[in-house]
Amino acid sequence: MTDPIRSLKLYGAFTAYTPVCATIAGASAIAGDRAGKVGWPASQIWAKGVTNAAGVTDFVTEGLERCYDGNPYLLMSNHESHLDPPSIIRASERPVVFLAKEELKWIPLFGWGMERMGHIFIDRRNEKRARQSIEKAARRVQEGRCVLVFPEGTRTQDGELRPFKKGGFVLAVKAHVPIIPIGIAGTRQIWPSQSILIKKAGPVAIVAGEPIDTRPYSLENKEELMEKVRDAISDLRVRAQTIVAERRGG
């Protein structure tokens, strides 16, 4: 069962909030707002407007304060829905740079605002350009930024974790910064990946775990790092699912 009325509200909110918030965020970045003092609050206004319109009734976070100490981190999360990025933007007090798919770059104003804010687009169809994006992301992290990667590469279709792509872990090894694993739940129940319509309103939970040290790993043994991060995200995802189930009343 889908909710056409709420779906119209979601697309209306995206249409209404995106031009204003993207312009503010992008213009502030051009003016030198590298710390995101103006751009990030504008991004959060956009994210809150979109998630509220989509039907996020309750928003629960745990552990995200681990990335608020000013140190550079690579955030890695499971990917449930189109609502994951705005949910993470809404939740994080610290500006986060996303490693995002190339297609988002061409959305009018939205893509322009993302690019000005420092988000990095990756063209997975072009290996050379994808490597260049990874190198660019590594520089962002080394500059002290928080960069978020969805290691599955795309949204889950059946609710299970998809195989992880290697690109994010090449980035992790090159940047030599800790990975903070994240589990997110609830977004798929609201907006499944295979639908253009909202299914039903409900809570969203985002749970961040302990940082994982990447220094013991190299490009040769990055698969061990992938397994460790996957196990952590899987556990955190279960915790997030438990929170969502409790908020939904079982």
pLDDT in tens, 25-49: 999 999 998 788 999 999 999 999 9
Alpha carbon separation from 129 to 111, 125, 135, 168, 169 (Å, rounded): 18, 9, 10, 14, 17
Question: Whole-angstrom Cα distance, residue 86 to residue 96?
Answer: 11
Q: How many domains does the structure of the chain reveal?
A: 1
Q: 70 lies in which domain range?
A: 4-247
Kindly write down the DSSP assignment for every residue of 159-197, as one continuous string.
SSPPPPPSHHHHHHHHHT--EEEEEEESHHHHS-TT-SS
* DSSP state, residue 121: E
CA 250 to chain centre: 27
Q: What are the tens digits of pLDDT across the range 215-248? A: 999 999 999 999 999 999 999 999 999 999 999 8
User: Which CATH number does the domain housing residue 157 bear?
Assistant: 3.40.1130.10
Q: Which residues of the chain have pLDDT under 50?
A: none
- CA nearest neighbour of 151 among 237, 50, 89: 237
Q: Which two three-digit tokens encode residue 80?
A: 């449930």
Return the pLDDT at 250: 59
| Residue count (the chain) | 250
Return the pLDDT at 210: 97
Angle between helices 39-54 and 4-30 (to 10 degrees): 180
- CA nearest neighbour of 143 among 209, 212, 97, 85: 97
Cα angle 216, 217, 221; round to 5: 140
* DSSP state, residue 212: B
Note the pTM of the prediction, 2 decimals.
Answer: 0.93
Check if the beta carbon of residue 86 is closer than 8 Å to that of residue 51: yes
Question: Whole-angstrom Cα distance, residue 23 to residue 152?
Answer: 30
Alpha helical stretches, state H, the chain: 4-30, 39-54, 84-91, 110-116, 127-142, 167-175, 187-190, 222-247
